[in-house]
């Protein structure tokens, strides 16, 4: 695999001179500017007038304004809850999201250089799925309007995410080979069933602002769990999963491939007895406690496809991380706050 990497990435990126993208400068008097001013009373770094650079690269900077604009797109007016967060946590939130935004920009630039084109029909298809989840286009647009989220900005963000996904598929698909030996080794060495308890709060059909409120509630529950409150009792009281609520959030002896990926990753990778952070799936936000794991008892042929899918996903993630490291190196990537 190491010998393949240079061939995959060779010739993809051409370094340019100067910053080719402008950073977001918050407009004085706007709601985002006022929010940043309030936050800067606790964390001076967030002063909108200074618009400090958090991440620097050769082609662009990611500033306080960029991060707040991204929050606005994700959460709308729900970002006002940033006022309730402690200073140290605020700094970490801005740093983490600036890093994620910078990595996205680097991948998007790579997608453009590789002439990845996204047609309107692809974006419309994603939007139709969003409409269906909330009961129709009119309801969806009302959610955005009430949350103060710009529809065209959201649509463009979807287009960018699709471009990155297509680029990743184009770059890695032909370089990922899973052999029978890989599958057999994975089958022999990995735990194949897991037992967990979980607490779920649903976010399907919720507006971005509602999702922020739900996440805040989950943070409170997670604190209670980590302080030693009985997980089973909390699951019976707060979980919104009808399939496990009455059993204290219990899912027993499920196999790889039975759950969505992020839930499965926590269930099979966290140490037995440990409790996850908040895990997001298409259903909502989960807190997961790992109770037990066992070796696979089903014949290999019945789980072969699931194992191959898992191995391909793992390989793609490994290659993607290496690609991001290469992009950072080429673009003199620097995080400018501790």
Question: Does 163 score more than 80 pLDDT?
Answer: yes
Rg (CA), the chain: 22
Query: Given this model, what pLDDT does residue 207 score?
Result: 74
Query: Given this model, what pLDDT does residue 226 score?
Result: 92
| CATH code where residue 221 lies | 3.10.50.40
Q: What is the total count of domains within the chain?
A: 2
Whether residues 322 and 242 fall in one domain: no
User: Is the residue at 307 inside a domain?
Assistant: no
Whether residues 167 and 21 fall in one domain: yes
Whether residues 105 and 69 fall in one domain: yes
Confidence of residue 6 (pLDDT cuts 50, 70, 90): very low
Give the angle subtended at the CA of 117 by the CAs of 113 and 118, to the nearest 5°.
140
Question: Does 100 score more than 70 pLDDT?
Answer: yes
**DSSP strand pairing (250-255 vs 279-280):** unpaired
Question: Does 162 score more than 50 pLDDT?
Answer: yes
Q: Nearest CA to 35 among 83, 87, 103?
A: 83
Q: Nearest CA to 65 among 103, 104, 89, 39?
A: 39
| CATH code where residue 92 lies | 1.10.4030
User: Is the residue at 310 inside a domain?
Assistant: no
The answer to whether 194 and 290 have CB atoms below 8 angstroms apart is: yes
Query: Given this model, what pLDDT does residue 204 score?
Result: 83
For residue 29, the tally of other CB atoms under 10 A from its CB is 7
User: Is the residue at 327 inside a domain?
Assistant: yes
Whether residues 115 and 47 fall in one domain: yes
Whether residues 9 and 150 fall in one domain: yes
Question: Does 1 score more than 50 pLDDT?
Answer: no
Question: Does 14 score more than 50 pLDDT?
Answer: no
Structure tokens at 184: 């057999």
The answer to whether 307 and 256 have CB atoms below 8 angstroms apart is: yes
The answer to whether 200 and 212 have CB atoms below 8 angstroms apart is: no
Structure tokens at 154: 């959201």
Give the separation between CA 186 and CA 192, rounded to whole angstroms: 10
The answer to whether 120 and 165 have CB atoms below 8 angstroms apart is: no
Question: Does 124 score more than 80 pLDDT?
Answer: yes
How far out from the chain centre does Cα 171 lie? 21
pLDDT in tens, 279-303: 999 899 999 999 999 886 778 898 8
Whether residues 104 and 160 fall in one domain: yes
User: Is the residue at 255 inside a domain?
Assistant: yes
Question: Does 17 score more than 80 pLDDT?
Answer: no
Whether residues 117 and 219 fall in one domain: no
User: Is the residue at 104 inside a domain?
Assistant: yes
Whether residues 167 and 36 fall in one domain: yes
Low-confidence winner among 4-13, 97-106, 178-187, 320-329 (lowest mean pLDDT)? 4-13
**How large is the average pLDDT for residues 61-83?**
91
For residue 18, the tally of other CB atoms under 10 A from its CB is 6
Query: Given this model, what pLDDT does residue 15 score?
Result: 34
Domain termination residue (choose one: 280, 295, 310) = 295
Q: Is the pTM higher than 0.95?
A: no
Question: Does 7 score more than 80 pLDDT?
Answer: no
Query: Given this model, what pLDDT does residue 76 score?
Result: 86
* Sheet order of strands, 61-63 included: 61-63, 53-56, 334-335
User: Is the residue at 313 inside a domain?
Assistant: no
**How large is the average pLDDT for residues 146-167?**
93
**How large is the average pLDDT for residues 40-61?**
95
Please, what is the angle between helix 64-75 and helix 31-40, to 10°?
120
User: Is the residue at 312 inside a domain?
Assistant: no
Give the separation between CA 216 and CA 53, rounded to whole angstroms: 28
Give the separation between CA 72 and CA 77, rounded to whole angstroms: 7
User: Is the residue at 214 inside a domain?
Assistant: yes
pLDDT in tens, 169-202: 889 887 899 999 999 998 887 767 899 999 999 9
Question: Does 12 score more than 80 pLDDT?
Answer: no
Confidence of residue 4 (pLDDT cuts 50, 70, 90): very low
Query: Given this model, what pLDDT does residue 18 score?
Result: 52
Query: Given this model, what pLDDT does residue 8 score?
Result: 32
Residue 199 domain boundaries: 191-295
The answer to whether 171 and 323 have CB atoms below 8 angstroms apart is: yes
How far out from the chain centre does Cα 305 lie? 25
pLDDT > 70 in the chain, percent: 93
**Average per-residue pLDDT for the chain:** 88
Whether residues 52 and 168 fall in one domain: yes
**How large is the average pLDDT for residues 139-143?**
90
Question: Does 19 score more than 80 pLDDT?
Answer: no
Question: Does 107 score more than 80 pLDDT?
Answer: yes
pLDDT in tens, 200-252: 999 887 776 788 889 999 999 999 999 999 999 999 999 999 889 999 999 99
59 three-state secondary structure: coil
Whether residues 204 and 157 fall in one domain: no
Query: Given this model, what pLDDT does residue 329 score?
Result: 95
Give the separation between CA 179 and CA 186, rounded to whole angstroms: 11
Whether residues 81 and 157 fall in one domain: yes
Q: How far apart are the first and last CA of the chain?
A: 34
Whether residues 199 and 280 fall in one domain: yes
Of the two residues 89 and 322, the one the predictor is more confident about is 322
List, in sequence order, the alpha helices (H) in the chain: 5-9, 31-40, 64-75, 87-113, 120-134, 137-147, 151-172, 180-189, 208-226, 231-238, 261-269, 300-330
């Amino acid at each position: 695999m190491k010998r393949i990497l240079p061939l995959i990435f060779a010739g993809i990126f051409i370094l340019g001179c100067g910053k080719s993208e402008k950073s977001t400068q918050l407009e004085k008097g706007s709601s985002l500017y006022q929010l940043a001013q309030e936050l800067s009373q606790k964390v001076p770094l967030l002063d909108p007038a200074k618009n400090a650079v958090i991440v620097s690269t050769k082609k662009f900077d990611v500033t306080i304004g960029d991060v707040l604009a991204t929050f606005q797109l994700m959460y709308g007016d729900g970002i006002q809850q940033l006022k309730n967060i402690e200073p140290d946590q605020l700094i970490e939130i801005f740093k983490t999201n600036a890093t994620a935004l910078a990595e996205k920009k680097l991948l998007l630039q790579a997608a453009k250089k590789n002439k990845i084109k996204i047609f309107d029909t692809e974006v419309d298809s994603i939007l139709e799925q969003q409409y269906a989840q909330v009961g129709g286009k009119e309801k969806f647009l009302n959610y955005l309007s009430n949350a103060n989220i710009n529809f065209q900005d959201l649509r463009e963000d979807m287009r960018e995410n699709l471009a990155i996904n297509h680029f990743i598929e184009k770059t890695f698909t032909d370089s990922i080979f899973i052999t029978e030996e890989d599958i057999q080794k994975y089958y022999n060495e990995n735990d194949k069933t897991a037992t967990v308890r979980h607490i779920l709060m649903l976010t399907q059909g919720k507006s971005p602002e509602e999702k922020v409120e739900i996440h805040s509630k989950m943070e409170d529950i997670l604190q209670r769990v980590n302080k030693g409150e009985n997980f089973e009792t909390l699951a019976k009281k707060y979980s919104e999963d009808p399939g496990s609520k009455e059993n204290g959030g219990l899912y027993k002896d499920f196999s790889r491939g039975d759950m969505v990926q992020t839930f499965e990753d926590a269930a099979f990778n966290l140490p037995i007895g440990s409790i996850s952070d908040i895990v997001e799936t298409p259903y909502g936000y989960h807190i997961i406690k790992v109770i037990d794991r066992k070796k696979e008892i089903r014949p290999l042929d019945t789980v072969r496809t699931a194992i191959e899918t898992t191995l391909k996903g793992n390989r793609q993630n490994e290659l993607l991380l290496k690609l991001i490291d290469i992009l950072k190196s080429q673009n003199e990537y620097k995080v400018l706050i501790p």
